[in-house]
Structure 1
Amino acid sequence: MVIVSKRFLKFFTGNFAQAITLWPFVILKSKELRTDDSLLNHERIHLRQQLELLLIGFYLWYTIEFLIRWTKEKNANDAYHAICFEKEAYLNDLNSNYLKTRRFFAFIKYL
């Protein structure tokens, strides 16, 4: 389910993100983003990752990996882009068929 809420997104990410996925919702910053196919595919990839790790596992892994990478990178933006979940989503968000062919736990190869 797609929701548009600039205020909610700002609360969770500051002004950093255009969208966030919190199962089962994809929260977008603006209505115009509803037509951004690559962004929506990116967020659908995150929905699949969240299901695979039974939600809590995803959020724990995401947070821990972010913190570890932030201590190495010294930059939150670089740490964010280095997270395996984000690598998988960014590298495949232009492929509209990706989720049809994606293997279970595919994010692991992006560690």
Structure 2
Amino acid sequence: MAIFPFILLKNVKLKTDWSMINHEKIHLRQQLELLVLPFYILYLINYLINLVRYKNHHAAYLNIIFEKEAYKYDLDRDYLKNGNWYGWLKII
């Protein structure tokens, strides 16, 4: 879980999971783009709308615009290096 400026891990083994760390770094970038607090507000609103739409927690979570960007690029080692600021807007 990414809570600016930290990445919180369930256990030490996750430190070596590069794609998961990259996924969370993408969330840190998203938080910076929106000056942190608005990110959490938009995240929650998007989740709640999705929950009504999909009537399923997992589907609602996976369809949050911020999660879509993070999952789409978590295996791309150069995604954050190449800029791609506000990449989540392209998903809307």
TM-score range, shorter chain: over 0.9
Q: TM-score normalized by structure 2?
A: 0.97
Q: TM-score normalized by structure 1?
A: 0.81
Matched, 1:30 2:16: no
Pick from 52, 58, 64 the counterpart of residue 77 of structure 1: 58
| Count of residue pairs brought into register by the alignment | 92
2:76 is paired with a residue of what secondary structure? coil
2:49 is paired with a residue of what secondary structure? helix
- The residue number in structure 2 matching 1:60 is 41
Q: How far apart in 2 are the matches of 1:44 and 1:93?
A: 9
Give runs of ≥4 in structure 1 deviating > 6 Å.
Answer: none
| 1:100 CA drift (Å) | 1.1
RMSD: 0.7
- The residue number in structure 1 matching 2:67 is 86
- The residue number in structure 2 matching 1:44 is 25
- The residue number in structure 2 matching 1:4 is none
1:28 is paired with a residue of what secondary structure? coil
Which structure has more relative contact order (CA 8 Å, sep 6+)? It is 2
| 1:101 CA drift (Å) | 1.3
More strand, by proportion: 1
Q: Which amino acid in 2 is paired with 1:62?
A: Y
Q: Which residues of structure 1 form unaligned runs of 5+?
A: 1-19
Q: How far apart in 2 are the matches of 1:45 and 1:25?
A: 12
Q: Which amino acid in 1 is paired with 2:89?
A: I
